[in-house]
Amino acid sequence: MRTRLLTFLALSAFAAMTAAVAAPVAYNVDPDHTHVQFDTDHFGGLSVWRGIMTKNRGTLSVDKAAGTGTVDVYTDMTSAVIGNAKLEEELKSNQFFDAGRYPESHYQGTLGGFVNGAPTTVTGSLTFHGVTKPVNLKILSFKCMMHPFYKKEVCGADATGTFSRADFGVDYGKAYGFNMDVTLRIQVEGLAADAAAPAKK
């Protein structure tokens, strides 16, 4: 009887340890180290305009052992910086983002394609300009480490994807031959949710 009890306790302890190791870890997106770059066409290949959305917030969840995870990020549509003050104001107007009606975009996705504990893909959807459509991302790099200042885990990734802005009802310039495809280049860092936000560097 005592042997069975010890065996049961040992198995219970092992199960608890396994569950703890495999539990997903939540991370808060660090807005100071997270930016969304967008590349968009000007006059059908005449040049490429590049901008950055500077205000982003959200959460990540990663279970490296199980090879699962999620991403949930919001972007302030008034935060575009493109190197042209007039165009930055126009982007907020109803010709483009219509930021008065749609102040944020929302990306929600599932991490996949894990290799050695690191995801390589995101299958998700983008809500932009009041429209929700599938947009998938390829993760070019993913790394987790102990934050040198806060001694908490921080994870970072570099990802990219494309979508047609016309699919979201933003087709200004199409009549002039503008290509509607937009390339996203996303850098993101997230600090373990029980840690304070890192100092801006």
Domains (ranges, CATH) in the chain? 23-192 (2.40.128.110)
Question: Sign of torsion, CA 9 11 12 17?
Answer: positive
Q: For residue 1, what pLDDT is reported? A: 55
How far out from the chain centre does Cα 122 lie? 9
Per-position pLDDT tens, the chain of length 201: 555 544 444 444 444 444 444 589 999 999 999 999 999 999 999 999 999 999 999 999 999 999 999 999 999 999 999 999 999 999 999 999 999 999 999 999 999 999 999 999 999 999 999 999 999 999 999 999 999 998 899 999 999 999 999 999 999 999 999 999 999 999 999 999 975 554 555
H-assigned helices in the chain: 2-22, 85-92
pTM (predicted TM-score): 0.85
Identify the DSSP state of 176: G
With a CB cutoff of 8 Å and minimum separation 6, the contacts of 43 are 173, 176, 177, 178
Q: How far apart are CA 131 and CA 144, in angstroms?
A: 33
Backbone angles phi, psi at 81, to 5 degrees: -120, 120
pLDDT given for residue 3 in this prediction: 53
Pairing mode, strands 56-63 and 121-128: unpaired
Residues 6+ apart with CB under 8 A from 54: 35, 76, 79, 80, 81
Q: Which residue has the tokens 């990306």?
A: 107
pLDDT at 23: 84
C-beta of residue 176 within 8 angstroms of C-beta of residue 9: no
SS3 137: strand
